[in-house]
């Protein structure tokens, strides 16, 4: 399935913000990523054919994130502070990347953000749109992150979602709802069962 890979591409450069629009928008986007301790949200992921998957996003700094897909979708994307892992339970396949080298590395390690992106004018002053791509890694595609100005959010912003175009020009859109910041998230939330093991370990 292409969807989870597109999702990874979508988030790959999320924090790598900003050059073209007001300098304050770059600083605000970077502050947002630095100030988030935890975030939970519902996500809706739409591919170029209009297929939609939904689920629950959990994010905890440093280095932890989980995309829990809806019931019946045998996929999981999770980072446990050491590595980012894509698990396909249907085919018992596990793919793993070091966090710093992973597509989600910018979210999980905000200190490395900022190299390959710019703020673009989306025509709505209530939003900051961050477009990013890494010319050294074209396989990551291009992402446009959408942040809304929100006095109640970290650094006065909240993450609304993103749109991604992968190296094969496949577009994936992710929208977030019910964003909540600062809730307690235990490290157990970022563990996973290995489908390759007959005894299924965490």
Long-range contacts, stretch 82-90, CB < 8 angstroms, 24+ apart: 84/108, 85/192, 86/4, 86/5, 86/8, 87/192, 87/193, 87/194, 87/195, 88/1, 88/4, 88/195, 89/195
The answer to whether the predicted template modeling score (pTM) of the entire model surpasses 0.85 is no
Mean pLDDT of the chain: 79
pLDDT score of 43: 96
Confidence of residue 44 (pLDDT cuts 50, 70, 90): very high
Look at residue 6 and tell me whether its pLDDT is greater than 70.
Answer: no
Does 192 reside within a domain?
Answer: no
Number of independent structural domains in the chain: 1
Confidence of residue 117 (pLDDT cuts 50, 70, 90): low
Does 187 reside within a domain?
Answer: no
> Domain holding 153: CATH number?
2.50.20.10
pLDDT score of 143: 73
Does 186 reside within a domain?
Answer: no
Confidence of residue 59 (pLDDT cuts 50, 70, 90): very high
141: left (phi over 0), alpha (psi -120 to 50) or beta: left
pLDDT score of 19: 39
Identify the CA nearest to 181 among candidates 31, 68, 59, 81. 59
Which comes out higher in pLDDT, residue 164 or 107?
A: 164
Give the rounded percent of residues in the chain with a pLDDT score beyond 70.
75
The token pair at 133 is: 């791509």
Provide DSSP, the chain. Answer: --HHHHHHHHHTTTT---SSS-HHHHHHHHHHHHH-SEEEEEEEEE-TT--EEEEEEEEETTTEEEEEEPTT--EEEEEESSEEEEEETTTTEEEEEEGGGSTTHHHH-GGG--SSEEEE--S-TTEEEEEEE-TT-GGG-EEEEEEEE-TTSGGGEEEEEEEEE-TT--EEEEEEEEEEES----GGGG----TTSTT---
Which domain covers residue 55, as residue numbers? Answer: 3-179
**pLDDT, tens only, 132-169:** 776 777 766 677 789 999 999 999 999 999 887 777 78
Mean pLDDT of 29-40: 88
Confidence of residue 75 (pLDDT cuts 50, 70, 90): very high
Does 21 reside within a domain?
Answer: yes
Mean pLDDT of 62-80: 92
Does 189 reside within a domain?
Answer: no
pLDDT score of 140: 65
Which comes out higher in pLDDT, residue 6 or 139?
A: 139
Mean pLDDT of 30-48: 91
CB atoms near residue 182 (< 10 Å)? 12
Does 157 reside within a domain?
Answer: yes
Does 190 reside within a domain?
Answer: no
Does 160 reside within a domain?
Answer: yes
Look at residue 20 and tell me whether its pLDDT is greater than 80.
Answer: no
């Amino acid at each position: 399935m292409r969807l989870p890979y597109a999702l990874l591409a979508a988030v790959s450069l999320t924090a790598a913000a900003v050059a073209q629009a007001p300098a304050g928008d770059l600083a605000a986007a970077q502050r947002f990523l630095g100030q988030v301790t935890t975030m939970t949200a519902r996500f809706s992921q739409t591919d170029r054919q209009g297929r939609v998957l939904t689920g629950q996003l959990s994010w905890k700094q440093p280095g932890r994130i989980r995309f829990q897909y809806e019931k019946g979708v045998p996929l999981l994307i999770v980072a446990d502070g050491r590595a980012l892992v894509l698990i396909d339970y249907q085919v018992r396949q596990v793919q793993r990347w070091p966090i710093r080298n992973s597509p989600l590395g910018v979210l999980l390690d905000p200190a490395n953000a900022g190299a390959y992106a710019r703020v673009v004018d989306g025509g709505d002053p209530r939003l900051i749109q961050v477009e990013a791509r890494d010319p050294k890694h074209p396989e990551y595609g291009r992402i446009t992150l959408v942040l809304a100005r929100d006095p109640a959010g970290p650094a006065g912003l909240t993450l609304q979602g993103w749109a991604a175009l992968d190296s094969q020009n496949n577009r994936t859109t992710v929208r977030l709802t019910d964003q909540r910041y600062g809730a307690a998230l235990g490290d157990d939330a970022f563990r996973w069962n290995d489908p390759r093991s007959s005894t299924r370990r965490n």
